[in-house]
Amino acid sequence: MFEKALLIYNGSAGQAETGEQLAILTRTLAPVIGELTLLQTKEQGDAERYCKERAEAVDLLLILGGDGTVHECVNGLAQLAHPPVVGILPGGTCNDFSRSLRMPQQLQQAAEAVVAGQTLTVDIGRMNERHFSNFYGIGLITDTSENINPELKGMIGKLSYFFSALQQVRAAESFAYRMETDDGMVEGEAVMILVANGGFLGTNELPGADQRLTDGLLDIFIIREAGLPLLLEVLGQKTSKQWDPEASSIDYRLSSRVAIHTEQPKRADTDGEVYMETPAELEVLPGRLTFIVGEETK
């Protein structure tokens, strides 16, 4: 039973759809929440501000929205001394971090998972003075994110990411980088660098570490031009069990911290939001936030 809960929902969604979603949630959550406050976002930054100003006064923070809304909330919550338990109710296109938490992707079932109340304290990433829950990436991943057709995304959801990725692969340009990790310095050329805390990208499960949310480490994927066919295999939903990092054209490593420098500033995609550039100092914050989870979570 939660005495007080705050539900932040994305105000950019259609009113009719949002009304139906809120009806489902309030009906399902009422038995386990004494007082539920609803806050609608109206512009970028609202969700982060709501979390900073009001989250410490509740036992449970619920986020109804996609990865962008989750990203804002995490940046507000990570600055708090006593953040509440967080429940993500998937309301976006990919909902990648909620997938990492094994939350059901149907709203009714996700609400039921909140009622069940199973929690997991997980790692959060920090990049310079900002935070991320799922990933930080430069190169091809940023080009893909910036070239997604909004109308196409609205009509066919996650498939728009695949179409955009395929278009960008044809024009992928390599860039020089220098990276410092726990194992020392590495440098070279790549078409994409992905630093992951979560386990999904564009609804597809990433290969790599089994305990990535709780291991105190970041998963680093350095993809050179020769690794692009494998990247498309990952986007094509090959399972992580079919990937052997020792025999891969993708350079994979684990580290608690990552410093990335490029010859020219590279725009970075962070949890699907593009607003930062290299250079970047990244680190993992072990056990920083506690989330509601669905089935057994890695």
pLDDT per position as a tens digit, 67-123: 999 999 999 999 999 999 999 999 888 899 999 999 999 999 999 999 999 999 999
pLDDT in tens, 13-35: 666 678 889 999 999 999 999 99
Give the tokens for residue 77. Answer: 């919550």
DSSP state of 30: G
pLDDT over 80 at 225, yes or no:
no
What is residue 65's predicted lDDT score, i.e. its pLDDT?
A: 92
Q: Measuring CA to CA, how many Å separate 194 from each of 95, 218, 252?
A: 18, 10, 10
Say if CB 124 and CB 197 are below 8 A apart.
yes
> 287: phi > 0 → left, psi -120 to 50 → alpha, else beta; which?
left
| Closest C-alpha to 100, from 220, 200, 203 | 200
Q: Is the peptide bond before 207 cis (omega within 30 degrees of 0)?
A: no
| Closest C-alpha to 66, from 137, 10, 119, 147 | 10
Say if CB 281 and CB 268 are below 8 A apart.
no
**HSE value, Cβ hemisphere, 13 Å, CA-based, for 56:** 10
pLDDT over 60 at 159, yes or no:
no
Say if CB 274 and CB 135 are below 8 A apart.
no
Cα 295 to chain centroid distance, Å, stands at 18
Q: Let me know if 20 is a catalytic residue.
A: no
The neighbour count for residue 55, using CB atoms within 10 Å, is: 21
What is residue 156's predicted lDDT score, i.e. its pLDDT?
A: 46
Q: 276 pLDDT band (50/70/90 cuts)?
A: very high
What is residue 238's predicted lDDT score, i.e. its pLDDT?
A: 46
DSSP string across 220-237: EEEE-GGGHHHHHHHHTT
**Least confident residue range of 28-32, 214-218, 293-297:** 293-297
Considering only residues 157 and 51, tell me which one the structure prediction assigns the higher pLDDT: 51
225, 233, 273, 283: the catalytic one is: 273
Say if CB 295 and CB 216 are below 8 A apart.
no
The b/e string for 61-96 (b: 16+ C-beta within 10 A; e otherwise) is bbbbbbbbbbbbbbbbbbeeeebbbbbbbbbbbbbb
What is residue 246's predicted lDDT score, i.e. its pLDDT?
A: 67
Give the tokens for residue 52. Answer: 């900073």
Q: Which amino acid is at 60?
A: L
Q: 270 pLDDT band (50/70/90 cuts)?
A: very high
Quick one: three-class SS letters along 52-65? HHHHHHCCEEEEEE
The neighbour count for residue 101, using CB atoms within 10 Å, is: 26
